[in-house]
Structure 1
């Protein structure tokens, strides 16, 4: 992971205001990194915080899957995803797949403000970091 991080910012509708407040509080730090977001969230954050953000499609239209593909290709370092634990989403399978990819490829993942605060305030956040990725090529799933 290089010093300049590639960060995805995602929020479900009921959590967009929380993410917006977090981004406003951390705008100067985030501005030093490369930012990505799903469609509606990206527009909101760019308009309200003046940040340069590469926008994917909206989550339900494939944006979550686009970010998952970036993780699989090694093109994303951090996922800040404020998801709504109280509402079923029409694209829950995409959300689960995105979170699975973040764990599989060992990228930093924050699903709430406390975790996002700890990640962004870590001394390691603004420097290069040697990230270990488990080799799953020999993984064989045994029947239960």
Structure 2
């Protein structure tokens, strides 16, 4: 390659790099002032709605799981063997319902906490990508 051809090639490369820098600089480093943040596709509303529905259902179930009729039958027939068995059965069933209710509460809390952590991680990754893009534009 001759000196003139090589010189022309270098000038074209320099012009191309300058055009790329100009194009990157005109793109900006983030959303316009006062503009919306980019949509990362994060949708916490459906997860929060499910967790809220779990808590609501659990709260309603706690008030309805007393089994009053079975307890009344046990008190009415105290002298019968069935009365003590009924009391024992009702007590165990209510304890189990409370345990299951506590599991549902824990699941709803874990669901919300896990979603919050995932969204936080995604936002952190997006912020890091923005910082890297800004650094690349300045390079």
Asked whether the two chains share a fold, i.e. TM above 0.5, the reply is: no
Structure with the largest fraction of strand: 1
Please report the TM-score for the alignment, with normalisation by the length of structure 1. Answer: 0.19
Please report the TM-score for the alignment, with normalisation by the length of structure 2. Answer: 0.19
